[in-house]
Amino acid sequence: MEQMVKMSIHIHMSVAILLILSQLAFFAIKNEENFIIFSKRFRFLLLIQNIIFGMTAFTGIVVMAVTQFTLWNIEIFLMIFLAVAILVHQILLYKKVRPIKSTEKDLQNSFKSYASKIYLSEALAGVVVYILARILD
């Protein structure tokens, strides 16, 4: 039983690392000058992030089920809080990018700046929670 718990935690943490890397992937497409191409790549990146986010949430629920929902500590609450924050920001980013037209350079630049701050803060929060989980484990 203990080996199954360790394996499910390892899988969950691996998927969490993928989520952090997918958030940092935004910076690879940020410098695209053509906003139409940027928008298409950004929406594709959001799709990938949502899939990885779903995998992270699913593996987290599997870990909770394997431990029979007895594993409650500060890192679990931080992970749940971070998951809710990521979900809310994903929705806000998608809603904010949709109405921007290819001729509105100021809105494009302000969106890229806003999204950069969001992705950097989410990635840093993910790294902090990951480190806390590894230290407190």
Instruction: Report whether pLDDT(40) > 90.
Output: yes
CB–CB of 82/133 below 8 Å?
no
Average pLDDT over residues 123-132: 90
pLDDT band per the 50, 70, 90 thresholds, residue 9: confident
Taking the C-alpha atoms of residue 120 and residue 117, their distance in angstroms, rounded to an integer, is 5
What string of H, E and C letters represents the secondary structure of 62-76? HHHHHCCCCCCCHHH
- The string of pLDDT tens digits covering residues 52-108 is 999 999 998 888 888 888 777 788 888 889 999 999 999 999 999 988 888 899 999
Taking the C-alpha atoms of residue 18 and residue 126, their distance in angstroms, rounded to an integer, is 11
Average pLDDT over residues 15-27: 92
